[in-house]
Amino acid sequence: MMGLQSILHEPWKPVPRPQLISWLIFYAGFLGYAFSAHGGFLFIDCANLVVHEGGHNLFGWFGPALGLWGGTLFQWLVPFLLAAYFFTERQITGFVFCLFFFFENWLYTATYMADARAQVLPLVTTGDPEFVEHDFYAIFSGLGVLNHDTQIAAVVRLLGWCGMIAVTMWMARRTLGTQESSESATSATIRNQEILNRRVR
């Protein structure tokens, strides 16, 4: 607990204004790109797919149930843990980047969820293609919510969008606020020094 408290009291490492503007342009561009895809496959989803399949293989060692859930769990866990690392290092750009794509994974997952009954998406597996199954058909069937696949997907997609937008806005507000505070402190120091110099004279 003390370790967490000490981390929370550490200031975030500063981000130069030109770098902040570049990042914000990148995130705005990606959000526009994702919106224009209308739930379709994004280029970053190629990486998500690799991590997803790796999760099946990794968690599959702990039984078929965890192996079934493992693809999505690992796909979400990797960017989340990377975000946690950058949080402890107080590196705001790395933290936001990983958290942004943690939430982007929710869009990818939502598309897969919405396909549970229709099953029109091509399925990928690292195992025997004769025994490939749709993750969320199996998961939702087991939970008894298969008929609600599109509603669940819509909620997950909405949360993903909210998360991506929120972390981008937080980065802008946090960084600009820190810069303004730093500039105000610098100006105050200069004014105090000028007053002190006048008194000395």
97's CB contacts (< 8 A; 6+ apart) are: 23, 86
Could you list the residue range(s) of the whole structural domain that residue 148 is in? 2-200
What digits encode the pLDDT tens for the residues 78-136? 999 999 999 999 999 999 999 999 999 999 999 999 999 999 998 888 766 776 889 99
> Contact, 55 vs 71, CB < 8 A?
yes
Average pLDDT of 188-198? Answer: 55
Q: Report the pLDDT averaged over residues 175-180.
A: 66
Q: What pLDDT score does 39 carry?
A: 86
Burial of 182 (0-12, 13-18, 19+ CB in 10 A): exposed
Distance of CA 13 to the CA centre of its chain: 20
pLDDT of residue 191 exceeding 50: yes
Residue 184 has pLDDT above 50, yes or no: no
Determine contact, residues 15/87, Cβ cutoff 8 Å. no
Model pTM above 0.85: no
For 37-90, the pLDDT digits (tens) are: 988 889 999 999 999 999 999 999 999 999 999 999 999 999 999 999 999 999
Tell me which residue has tokens 């990928």: 124
Average pLDDT (173-187) is: 60
Quote the number of domains for the chain.
1
Q: Which of 95, 121, 98, 86 lies closest to 51, judged by CA? A: 98
